[in-house]
A and B are shown apart, each in its own frame.
Chain A
Amino acid sequence: MGGYIGNLALFFSLIFNVFLIFSLVKGIRSNNFKNLRTINFFNNSIFLLLLISFLTLIYCFIVSDFSNVAVYQNSHTTKPLIYKISGAWGNHEGSMVLFILILSLFSFVFFRTKVSEKLRVYTVFFQSILILIFLIFLILTSNPFDQMDPRPSQGLGLNPILQDPLLAIHPPFLYFGYVGFSLVFSFALAGLVTNNFDKSWSKIANFWIILPWSLLTIGIGLGSFWAYYELGWGGYWFWDPVENASLMPWLAATALIHSNIVTLKKDTLHSWTALLSIFTFIMSLLGTFLVRSGVLNSVHAFANDPYRGVYILSAILFITFFSLAIFIIKSPKKVLYGKYSFFLRDNFILINNCFLIFFLSVVLVGTVYPIILDAISGKSISVGPIYYHTILAPFLFVFLFFMSHGPLLSWNKEDKFLQIKNFKIFFLISIMISSVIIFWFFDYKDIILILGLFFSAYLITSVIFDWFSQKKLSLNFGRLVSHLGFGTLIFAIFINAYLSKEINAAMKVGDEIKIQDFIIKFKSINKIKKENYEEVFGNFLVTNKDKQVELTPSIRKYDQPIQFTSETSIKTNFIVDYYFAINLSEFEKDKIMVRFYYKPLMFWIWLSILLIAFGGIYQTFKLRNE
């Protein structure tokens, strides 16, 4: 029954969307927008219908309606309620419904703003084209309300590794970010088509760029945090294609935020801002394609429909072609450059925009090239962290330098003298900080480490300097917090990368091993039976110099489906994480494989990501109030 309503709502939203497009075209042709009320009606109805459809899907999951294929494949009656609910978007079909719902939500909210009628109508027009494309995709190839007959009595269960409270909220954040960029995409096309791409466009766009950017930042952070404590490999970022898929739109959007500020303040860089607006959403679509088409996890993509990939590929390239064609034809031609001088804020922003695009290209090549090479020549190459670190690190330093000075420069007046004075102060402070750290903690001197610490300290110093030299009234709090967060992030990443320690061993109860500065004692083992899994805990005592930490990692055996997962045990404080994970050993039956990690400054990595996101959220609230 629930499935029936959901399906009907989905179908009607498609019909209404066609009506909406017709009424938008009518409004655009008549050029007087008399039918705004009709447009508004259809726009609202589509959102409402999609919301109903999504809620009924959640309902199907809650009541375990196994006649629904998506529910059958991803749920089970013994699952806790929260995972029944999150199961609704933890699978392909459900997540596509969420994708479309967010497209429509942004369209719904945007049409109610005070933007000029013309821009609103055009924006909603492009947005509804996107909704149409993805609705057809959903209904044709991945309908979440497909029915099964006879109705199975029990479901297959949700992958235990996905049964995690963080992972329940991670995809919605990521999707709000990804899909949120659709609005600035549509808005950019609207601005281009109506020749309204100017300062006032930027002023409105600012909000619609920073909002999804902040949410995406949180989404990436949550995903990274989940990988850290759930996967049990001690890492927080693996340069995995799925992670890269979310990083690429983030980099593009970061470039967009800054170029849009230049457009807003100096009325230049119109074409570049427009191009980035389009490009950011294309990167989101590329991410969706990589994750959703089965290209990446082909081996495990059981019962995957081969047409899905082809459709989504065609759809994305269709969107890419037409949006870029519109850009080519209508790109703003006016150039309003003043006299060029190096020490201007817009110049520094432009330089760092180039760096961001470079970082993006590195990630793009690293993600897509192996896939294509494999398909064409059958050769498999692995592109791992070494590739990214080697290529990105040297440029990151220069990037940090420009990032430190950019905000201190004036938009119009060049003041070399002041900058040289600033440079001296920052240089002295950061050389002190970084050399103290290096001589205190490190036995060896690595040039990349030294530069990493130096430049991140440089950025932090400059932000603090900026904070106290700004006038209280015009304090750009959002930017300061985000930049500070970025500085501490890079600082923590470098310390973490060079000071982390890892110990692997096979142990049985009573064993004690001594490696590096650590003594690890395997004290005891105990078993617990829970509702949907059995858990075996190992009790370990780690001694590091005079510090003692007790850790209790475990292995869980889930019933539905039968699967083993390794649960980590992490003791954390501001300075360092003690991280423990255990696995069953395949070779030595009486022993357990233990992995111990010593991870410094993890807390600061998470805090920095929060700071970056918080700066963005603060800014969106400020912009909303304006």
Chain B
Amino acid sequence: MNNKYKIIILGITVVIIFVLFLRVLNSNKTYQPNQMIGKKIPEFILEDLFNKNTRLDSKVFSDKDFAVLNIWASWCIPCRIEHPFLMDFRDKNQINIIGLNYKDESVNAKNFLKKYGNPYSLIGVDKKGEVAIQLGAYGVPETYVLKKGKIIFKHIGPLNEDAVNKILELKK
């Protein structure tokens, strides 16, 4: 066989392997957490970050027609990118965002909000990350949209223009 053909075959093989593994990489992001879509939010009660006497009870979501839950942590770099979006989102749309502080030190979390602003109306402290796992979270940051306690949408990674528009559409 001519070398040219061999190299073409090699090239095609490499491309096929690339496409296959690209699917592997992408699939891992979507299939695991999707299981929670359409389901009721798992039950939990968490302490609030700023006020030890306030509790974040998952029942809160059942009463609300529309709620946004955002998982974040002070150590997470993408959260920092997301933060201005969240601030902007709350200011423009008058939507209460509930925060879930994932595997974080309270001091660090408070400093973070002091510096960059606090978009959350209530922040549950999920120190061990157990609630995030129950929610089927893949990483931080992650944003959930709930209707009457049911998860109807989730966005993995920092919020962007598209995700914000989608959330607003769901609100209508």
Residues on A close to B: CB < 8 A?
69, 72-73, 146, 148-150, 152-154, 156, 289, 293-295, 298-299, 301-304, 306, 309-310, 313-314, 317, 320-321, 324-325, 328-329, 371-372, 374-376, 378, 561-562
Contact = CB atoms under 8 A, between A and B. Distances in A.
A152 B115 CA distance: 13
Given A154-B105, A320-B14, A325-B10, A69 B75 contact: yes
Contacts of B23: 372, 375-376
B2 to A, nearest CB: 10
Given A295-B24, A372-B20, A378-B31, A303 B78 contact: yes
Given A153-B107, A313-B21, A375-B23, 20 more contacts: A69-B75, A73-B75, A146-B77, A150-B108, A150-B115, A152-B107, A156-B103, A298-B29, A299-B32, A302-B103, A302-B129, A302-B140, A310-B25, A313-B25, A320-B14, A325-B7, A371-B24, A372-B20, A375-B27, A562-B128
Contacts of B18: 313-314, 317
A309 B25 contact: yes
Interface in B63-95: 73-78
A111 to B, nearest CB: 30
Contacts of B14: 317, 320-321
A329 B75 contact: no
25 contacts: A73-B75, A150-B112, A150-B115, A154-B107, A293-B25, A294-B28, A299-B32, A301-B138, A302-B139, A303-B140, A306-B29, A309-B25, A310-B22, A313-B25, A320-B14, A321-B10, A325-B7, A328-B7, A328-B10, A372-B20, A372-B23, A375-B26, A376-B20, A376-B23, A378-B31
A149 B77 CA distance: 10
B11 interface: yes
B25 A152 contact: no
B121 interface: no
Interface residues of B, number: 39
Point out which of A148, A294, A304 has the most chain B C-beta atoms below 10 A from its C-beta: A148
B105 A153 contact: yes
Point out which of B23, B28, B31 has the most chain A C-beta atoms below 10 A from its C-beta: B28
Contacts of A378: 31
A598 B96 CA distance: 59
Which 7 A-B pairs have CB atoms at the shortest separation, nearest pair first? A298-B28, A152-B108, A375-B27, A375-B24, A309-B25, A150-B111, A375-B23
A615 B10 CA distance: 37
B77 A295 contact: no
Contacts of B6: 328
Contacts, number: 100
Contacts of A303: 73, 76-78, 139-140
A301 B75 contact: no
Interface string B121-146: 00000001100000000111000000
Interface of B: 3, 6-7, 10-11, 14, 17-18, 20-29, 31-32, 73-78, 103, 105, 107-108, 111-112, 115, 128-129, 138-140, 157
Contacts of A325: 7, 10
B139 A374 contact: no
Contacts of A301: 138-139
A152 B139 contact: no
B4 to A, nearest CB: 9
Contacts of A562: 128
Nearest to A562: B128
Contacts of A309: 25
A554 B75 CA distance: 33
A244 to B, nearest CB: 16
Contacts of A154: 105, 107-108
B5 to A, nearest CB: 10
Nearest to A150: B111
Contacts of B105: 152-154
A298 B23 CA distance: 13
A309 B17 CA distance: 14
B86 to A, nearest CB: 17
Nearest to A306: B29
A566 to B, nearest CB: 19
B128 A153 contact: no
A153 B105 CA distance: 8
Contact of A148 (B17, B24, B75): B75
Contacts of B27: 374-375
Nearest to B112: A150
Contacts of B111: 150
Nearest to A331: B3
Contacts of A295: 21, 24-25, 28
A69 B138 CA distance: 19
Point out which of A303, A317, A321, A562 has the most chain B C-beta atoms below 10 A from its C-beta: A303
A75 to B, nearest CB: 12
Nearest to B103: A156
